[in-house]
Structure 1
Amino acid sequence: MSLASHLDELKRKHGDIEREIDEAMLHPSVDDLEIANLKRRKLAIKDEIEKLRIEPTTH
């Protein structure tokens, strides 16, 4: 997988999780822990995207 396609896939996943968070927050029955876990996953993907943008030659 090329770096560009990997970044595109990470961005897609980041957007998907963002939509999941938005949807979960609309439903009061969703556990706060579940929302926190989604936010952690989203942040981890964002960190990976930034790492790949900064250091593309080492990956």
Structure 2
Amino acid sequence: MSLSSHIEELKKKHQTLSDRVEAALRAPGTPDTEIAELKKQKLRLKDEIERLTADVS
């Protein structure tokens, strides 16, 4: 897998997590801990994408 395709996969996962966070925020009764965990995962992916993108430059 090339670096650019790996970055694209990470971006897709990031978008999926973003969608899940939005859905969790709209759903009544979603535990705050679940939302916080999704946000942490999303942030880790964002950091990884930025790191890999910087390595390419």
- Shorter-normalised TM-score: what interval? over 0.9
TM-score normalised by L of structure 1: 0.92
**Alignment-derived partner of residue 24 in structure 1:** 24
Q: Please tell me the root mean square deviation across aligned C-alpha atoms, in Å.
A: 1.1
Gaps of 5+ in 2: none
TM-score normalised by L of structure 2: 0.95
Identity within the alignment, %? 46
TM-superposition CA deviations, 1:2-24 (whole Å, max 9, x none): 01110000000000000000000
Gaps of 5+ in 1: none
Q: How many aligned positions are there?
A: 57
Matches within 5 A, 1:1-59: 1-56=1-56
